[in-house]
Structure 1
């Protein structure tokens, strides 16, 4: 059954904008998922459908960044596995710990992340010299931590991963964006499969919206390759600000 015009009018532009932001700095789900909910899509179906449309766009930006030379597959294999394991651990923890506890911790940590973004060394254009073994360990640690966060809570996971790859593993901003994209893409595919098996994906709406997501991701990946840290830094700050406000609001007692 085709979605109605009003649903498409709400969802498609927001998926395009979310794809643009996500390709540059992660955090596109802060825009796309509320778009589905605003259009009246039930929560679980919205999450699953969002995984489909965002996965389509993420595939394009991942391929474009790989062809541009910003993804090292040898380095990516370890954080992909670590992020997958972390996501499983995070999901298990989520079943035992109230989400409000993590939201409070997140509100305290977000200003620290913003300070890291403001430091020019954190998001430098070029990668810092580092022993390859140490870099792999740092990528694995960041991948596991961000995967755990993604499984436990989720919003802004790609943004934190990009920051971690840049600050802890010493990658230049464009290389960090590339590595983040392929790790995040892999975990997104696993999540999509989970929701699809549960019947929580609107395939027609997701495919239509995914076309707009592809356009957003394609343009965003091009901006990363062309302008590097000049584009990434302000987008990350905007994502962190929105995430801070959203999490602070969700943490308030009702």
Structure 2
């Protein structure tokens, strides 16, 4: 029982972080492994709890009007296809290649975020054809990332929506939840069909994840960029450190 409580607490924290800036998997997935779950069961159960939490956060952002629906749905469509493609790509890549890609992309994303001080003050991009095309590309590229690596997907989506599509950080975070929901749906369906999700454990951790996402989304909507931007930076630093550990110390 103490182990279950600790696991649920960590998934709660992961959901809280994920609703604000993405990257919750950097906390929840190691927690499942530490609890002794086999790799496939850990991945599947983490995906279930993460999906339920993201669904909750998406609904919360939507209810507050912080989703640009045409851009978000275009990105979601791209993310669904990109995740499927990414799952295929990873079969042909070595772990070292994936880690190298992360070590290049994370500092680049951090620089973009830190140098774009006016992100939250820019008006939302119009739903023109070029903007919709860019949203589709964002979904495809970051969805592929989700398919072959996973952690940091919501973070990269948030930065892309803000830096390339002109959304303020809060609306970018809402759109990121929607696109991330789509990229997760396909892989979760596969896990459910294969019976890899461990029930009833998944129900307990999903409840914790939902609670964390609700709190995180509520605070993000209340405090805006003052909360979202530092969390984005923190998740990027954590992701970079984790990949360095895997690449050189594991």
Residue 234 of structure 1 pairs with residue 223 of structure 2:
no
Give the C-alpha shift of residue 74 in structure 1.
2.6
In structure 2, the partner of 1:56 is 52
> Is contact 1:13–1:212 with CA below 8 Å preserved after alignment?
yes
Residue 20 of structure 1 pairs with residue 16 of structure 2:
yes
In structure 1, the partner of 2:36 is 40
In structure 2, the partner of 1:175 is 171
> Is contact 2:81–2:140 with CA below 8 Å preserved after alignment?
yes
Give the C-alpha shift of residue 130 in structure 1.
5.0
Residue 94 of structure 1 pairs with residue 96 of structure 2:
no
SS in 1 for 2:120: coil
Residue 154 of structure 1 pairs with residue 145 of structure 2:
no
Give the C-alpha shift of residue 129 in structure 1.
5.0
Residue 109 of structure 1 pairs with residue 105 of structure 2:
yes
> Is contact 1:27–1:239 with CA below 8 Å preserved after alignment?
yes
Residue 219 of structure 1 pairs with residue 240 of structure 2:
no
Give the C-alpha shift of residue 169 in structure 1.
0.8
Gaps in structure 1 of 5+ consecutive residues: none
CA distance in 2, matches of 1:178, 1:218: 13
Give the C-alpha shift of residue 127 in structure 1.
2.7
Stretch deviating more after TM superposition (61-70 or 90-99): 90-99
Kindly provide the CA deviation profile for residues 75-122 of structure 1, in whole angstroms up to 9, marking residues without a partner as x: 222211111111121111111121211211211221121112212446
CA distance in 1, matches of 2:45, 2:121: 35
CA 1:211–1:105 in 2, change beyond 3 Å: closer, same or farther?
A: same
TM-score, normalising length from structure 2? 0.94
**Which stretches of structure 1, 4 residues or more, deviate above 6 A after TM superposition?**
none
Kindly provide the CA deviation profile for residues 32-52 of structure 1, in whole angstroms up to 9, marking residues without a partner as x: 111111111111101111111
Kindly provide the CA deviation profile for residues 199-235 of structure 1, in whole angstroms up to 9, marking residues without a partner as x: 1101211111111111110111111211111101111
CA 1:99–1:118 in 2, change beyond 3 Å: closer, same or farther?
A: same
TM-score, normalising length from structure 1? 0.93
CA 1:63–1:178 in 2, change beyond 3 Å: closer, same or farther?
A: same
SS in 2 for 1:137: helix
Gaps in structure 2 of 5+ consecutive residues: none
Q: What does 1:73-84 align with in structure 2 at a 5 Å threshold?
A: 73-84=69-80
Equivalent of 1:30, from 7, 26, 51?
26
Equivalent of 1:71, from 67, 72, 77?
67
CA 1:45–1:122 in 2, change beyond 3 Å: closer, same or farther?
A: farther
In structure 2, the partner of 1:197 is 193
Aligned length: 250
Give the C-alpha shift of residue 61 in structure 1.
0.9
CA distance in 2, matches of 1:189, 1:215: 20
> Is contact 1:80–1:186 with CA below 8 Å preserved after alignment?
yes
Stretch deviating more after TM superposition (133-142 or 13-22): 133-142
